[in-house]
Structure 1
């Protein structure tokens, strides 16, 4: 694990907790699908390739569908044959949707997408100065709503890096409600994901930790977020809030509070992850780049995978890139979510 850590810390491109050895090891404790290929150049370890092996030789990133950074952790300027790598791993295909930039696995057909970040390297005050210049209306209205929330519901309190399970379970309950309300699949219906989050919260080291923070009005929890961090990067993962406080924009209040505490704790970047969300556009200072695509060998399994996955992926990318189509799809999902909620009741 020390070599993995050394390689990760040698390149800023790998400074993401989803690429940390602790994350892969924790998922591996819960899923037999997880494997790690160790790459050698003579006696020297030059890289680690964590992946999941699914039926028919289909390879996916560790905790596929959950993570916002994927790929190898390796020495600088590593040259490998990507198809040879997946062959040696016993895979017909390796598919990815958040591959970090500069990866040997990134082919010419990979599609690139922005991953918004909050840059805190110059401190929280410089960040708020940036917001005033670039999202002034959002920043001022969030402060005003914060004051209004405090007047109407009680003194605001923000607790950062909480380690108890009770507030985490409150947050996951909000997130489940959000998934159902918006027509999305409830990730926390899978027990292994719940247990993964709980184990990550219990992992607290200098180089890797689960980070839970909550905002309270009086004694009532209003909003929160759970993510994971390295020494200097916090990955945004599961934000949620109590819908009873929706008119106060509690998510924005929580993100600003989190940014302030994170900066004070040594966090330099909050990676909010790929995906078009209004709050990300309002809070971001810049963007990283991630890629979506696949590496495949000539095989029947790869052909079946292409027919099942690639056309769907391209259609989804088309929808995500078109604001009108995205708005229509989001509206349809929310309608489905309301219908499903009524049926369940």
Structure 2
């Protein structure tokens, strides 16, 4: 096999078409974060994005998008922003990992949302975790009946709050695939407020991430596009979400809501309405991503699986990187595996967020550093 390294923008129409064909032929690759459009956008915005093109003879058999940071540290494309990464290739392709790292000029490559079971990386998986999905393959009615059966009390409560929101705040209106740039800005503002309130890093403080969402919002094709959804009570926006879709899958990315309406659980109301409209739009599933909130447990009707692991070439950089990352990864796994610890960590971060907001309000010039794990 021959491995060549290019910037995404250097891919020609032949390579782009081949990428789409490979992705479309394998159901395990049905995720917009694996699409060539996402790689092209990241390549326009970030200098460290590269693609390894794997050829067998005169035929391209795989693409490996990645980020190359200082000292040969490799990260998945999009890093902390994405919920899926991997090798876009012919089925069952197994690439020599040492040769791949050497060609990519990487000392180490960490992954935590790898498509599980890819032969190239399978031997280096240290854990495989479920990513909950809303399975809409047999229609919304079948999906909602399963949700109702799985958690009748939660379902009844949310539907009651949905009716109450409509009565007290104005008739509910759901907008699917909105082209409104102002609504996208409103969603980002809600999300920034949530990040600060819960003690986490504000993604949208980085201009390139805002630009990425703008570019994704403008993408429109049958196999890849950004999807903005909003719930309104009367003329007032109360909750929304921005995600990416393929022909069959919508991936959860940035959900948020106006805290003024928190008593109505507008985020959950939005998710159920989004699932209904996604099914009507011909989508077969909504991927909610691994880990996180309890609501995913009762909204889900299936699971995909993603893997965590690490590959490296012997080097001082790889050794230092392992010493720095291993304890953090171990601690994160322990916390996310135990709901009581997750809730405790969440309360601690929210407390930090309140403290940080209070300090910043008193002294705008004050800079408060993020605590460990706030990202």
Structure 2 length-normalised TM? 0.90
1:108 CA drift (Å): 4.3
Q: Secondary structure of 1:288's partner? A: strand
Q: Is the 8 A contact 2:124 2:310 kept in 1?
A: no
Q: Deviations over 1:284-319 (max 9, x none)?
A: 001111111211011111111111112211121112
For 2:33 and 2:334, the matched residues in 1 are separated by 27
Task: Work out whether 1:323 is the aligned partner of 2:339.
Answer: yes
Query: What are the residue-to-residue correspondences of 1:139-150 with 2, within 5 Å?
Result: 139-150=155-166
Return the match for 1:275 from 291, 295, 309.
291
For 2:102 and 2:345, the matched residues in 1 are separated by 38
Query: What are the residue-to-residue correspondences of 1:1-345 with 2, within 5 Å?
Result: 1-103=16-118, 104-345=120-361
For 1:264 and 1:324, the matched residues in 2 are separated by 37
For 1:45 and 1:156, the matched residues in 2 are separated by 50
1:109 CA drift (Å): 4.7
305-314 vs 220-229, which moves further: 305-314
Q: Is the 8 A contact 2:72 2:106 kept in 1?
A: yes
Q: Is the 8 A contact 2:124 2:309 kept in 1?
A: no
Q: Is the 8 A contact 2:198 2:353 kept in 1?
A: yes
Q: Secondary structure of 2:250's partner? A: strand
Q: Secondary structure of 1:162's partner? A: coil
For 1:248 and 1:43, the matched residues in 2 are separated by 59
For 1:331 and 1:8, the matched residues in 2 are separated by 40
1:163 CA drift (Å): 1.4
Q: Secondary structure of 1:254's partner? A: helix
Q: Is the 8 A contact 1:319 1:325 kept in 2?
A: yes
Q: Secondary structure of 1:147's partner? A: helix
Q: Is the 8 A contact 2:108 2:313 kept in 1?
A: yes
For 2:167 and 2:93, the matched residues in 1 are separated by 57
Q: Is the 8 A contact 1:157 1:218 kept in 2?
A: yes
Q: Secondary structure of 1:161's partner? A: coil
Q: Deviations over 1:235-285 (max 9, x none)?
A: 000000000110111011101111111111111010000113111112000
Q: Deviations over 1:98-148 (max 9, x none)?
A: 001122223345211111000000000111111111122222211111111
164-173 vs 319-328, which moves further: 319-328
1:327 CA drift (Å): 2.1
For 2:315 and 2:82, the matched residues in 1 are separated by 28
Structure 1 segments (4+ residues) deviating >4 Å? none
For 2:330 and 2:125, the matched residues in 1 are separated by 12
Q: Is the 8 A contact 1:203 1:210 kept in 2?
A: yes
318-327 vs 180-189, which moves further: 318-327
Q: Is the 8 A contact 2:124 2:311 kept in 1?
A: no
Q: 1:108 to 1:293 in 2, by over 3 A?
A: closer
For 1:300 and 1:288, the matched residues in 2 are separated by 36
39-48 vs 273-282, which moves further: 273-282
Please, which runs of 5 or more residues in structure 1 have no aligned partner?
none
For 2:40 and 2:272, the matched residues in 1 are separated by 31
In the other structure, the counterpart of 2:9 is none
Please, which runs of 5 or more residues in structure 2 have no aligned partner?
1-15, 362-375
For 1:320 and 1:253, the matched residues in 2 are separated by 25
In the other structure, the counterpart of 2:13 is none
Aligned residues: 345
For 2:249 and 2:100, the matched residues in 1 are separated by 29
Greater relative contact order structure (CA < 8 Å, 6+ sep): 1
For 2:344 and 2:145, the matched residues in 1 are separated by 35
